[in-house]
Amino acid sequence: MIANAHLRVMVRVAMPDDEVKADLDNLHVFGRVAPEDKLRLVALMQDTGQIVAMTGDAVNDAAALKQANIGVAMGSGSEVSKQAAKMILTDDNFATLVHAVELGRDIYNKVTAYIAYQLTGMFGLLIMMLLATVFNINSGVALTPGMILYISLFIAIFPVLAIMGDTADPGLMDHPPRDPSVPVFNRRTGTRWIIIGIVLAATALIPLVWGPDEPQVSGPSISMTMAFAVSALSTVGIGVVARRDPGGFWNGPVFPYFTWLGAAAIITVLGVELTFLQRILDTVSLTGSQWLAVLALSLAAPVLMSADKAWRRHQKAKEPQSPPPATKEKATAPTTVNA
C-alpha cells in the first residue's frame, strides 16, 4: 500500500468484504486497525490479485506478517514478528526495503535473461542437428563435436558473464510488478525462443547447403567453417539482445557488458584464423567476402529477437494507463480499537 498524506481512512469492521474490495483502490491509509483486521485486509488484497507486503514489529502483527506475500519485520521488533516474517529490516529503515525490492527485481531480470539466452542457443543447436539429420545435410553432421564444445565452453560463457555482471536497469523501479503465477518458461516465451532457435539453425545450415565448397565430415572445409562461425557469432549476437528484456540493450553502461561480448567475438575469429585452433576444430581461414556473408547470416537471429522486443515495447506503450485513484474519505468509527 502506498501511503497518501492527504487521505485518512478508517474502515468499519462490519463493512462487507465485497465493499472493501471495491474501495481498495481508493483506500490508502487505515487507522486504528485491530490485529484481526490487519489479517483480513491482507487476505482481501490477495483475493483481488495484489502482491501484499506487510511490515510490523509487534506480537499482534505476526498473523498478518505470516499471511502476506512478503512479511517484513523490524530488527528492533519482537521475536514473534521476526519468526513470522520472511524478511527482517535490521536497520529499521524503510528505504532499505525499497533497495531490497530493486535488488530482487535485478536478480530476477538477470536470471530470466540468462535462461532466455541459454535456451535460445540450445534450441538453435538441437534444431540445427535435427534438420541436418532429417534432410541429410553433410551426412547429418551440422557441426563437429569440437566445434560444438568450443562454442559451448569458450564462446557462450562470455555472454553469460556479461549478463550476470551487468548493472541494474536504470528504469527498473518504474516497471509494474510481474505476475508471480506466470513461470519464466511459458507458452509465449517458449514459442519465442523456439522460433529464434529455428532462425539460428537455418542460417547456420545455409553455408552447408549453398556454401563455396562441399562440406566434409573427415576434414576441414570452407562451408563447415562458415557454419561454425555463423553459429558462434549468432550466439554472441543473442547475448547482446538478451540484455534488459523487453527494454533496449543499449540502455545502461557500455562497460563491462560489451567488453565480455567483444571477447567472445574475438575468440570466434581466433577459432577460424589461428593455426593451432584450425587443427583442433577442423576450420580454415576465410576471405573478407566470406566473413561478410557470415556476419550477415549471424545477424538474422539477433535482429529477429530485437524486433520482437521492440514490438512488445510498442504494445506495452499502447496499454491504457490506470488513472490515479480519486481521493475518497470514509470517516466511520471503528467497532474495535487497537493502539
The CATH number of residue 69's host domain is: 3.40.50.1000
Pairwise CA distance, residues 70 & 61, whole Å: 13
Number of domains forming the structure of the chain: 2
Closest listed residue to residue 93, CA positions, set 66, 72, 70, 114: 72
State how far the Cα of 126 lies from the Cα of 310, in Å rounded to an integer: 27
- Give residue-wise pLDDT tens across range 239-289: 999 998 888 888 888 889 999 999 999 999 999 999 999 999 999 999 999
- The verdict on residue 109 lying in a domain is yes
* Residue 48 and residue 135 in one domain: no
pLDDT at 152: 94
Of 47, 70, 92, which closes a domain? 92
Q: What is the domain range of residue 170?
A: 105-318
Q: Does the residue 195 lie in any domain?
A: yes
Does residue 58 lie in a domain region? yes
Q: The pTM is what?
A: 0.82
Q: Are residues 149 and 88 in the same domain?
A: no
| CATH at residue 267 | 1.20.1110.10
Same domain assignment for residues 83 and 197: no
What is the rounded CA–CA span in Å between residue 263 and residue 100?
32
The answer on 184 and 298 residing in a single domain is: yes
**Is the same domain home to 313 and 199?**
yes
Residue-level pLDDT at 335: 35
- Whether residues 143 and 77 share a domain: the answer is no
Establish if 256 belongs to a structural domain: yes
Rounded to 5°, angle at Cα 164 from 163 and 170: 70
Among residues 92, 126, 142, which one ends one of the domains? 92
Tens digits of per-residue pLDDT, 21-46? 888 888 777 777 888 889 999 999 99
Out of 92, 120, 146, pick the residue that ends a domain: 92
Both 217 and 274 in a single domain?
yes
182 and 304 in a common domain: yes
Residues 66, 271: Cα–Cα separation, whole Å = 56
Specify the higher pLDDT residue, 155 or 218.
155
Q: How far apart are the first and last CA of the chain?
A: 20
Question: Is residue 150 one of the residues assigned to a domain?
Answer: yes
Q: Per the domain annotation, does 100 fall within a domain?
A: no
Q: Which of 10, 50, 29, 23 is nearest to 325 (CA)?
A: 23
pLDDT per position as a tens digit, 71-112 = 999 999 999 999 999 999 999 888 898 898 899 999 999 999
Choose between 318 and 119: higher pLDDT. Answer: 119
In this predicted structure, the answer to whether residue 334 has a pLDDT above a threshold of 70 is no
Q: State the chain's maximal CA–CA distance in angstroms.
A: 87
pLDDT of residue 179: 82
Q: Name the pLDDT band for 320 (thresholds 50, 70, 90).
A: low
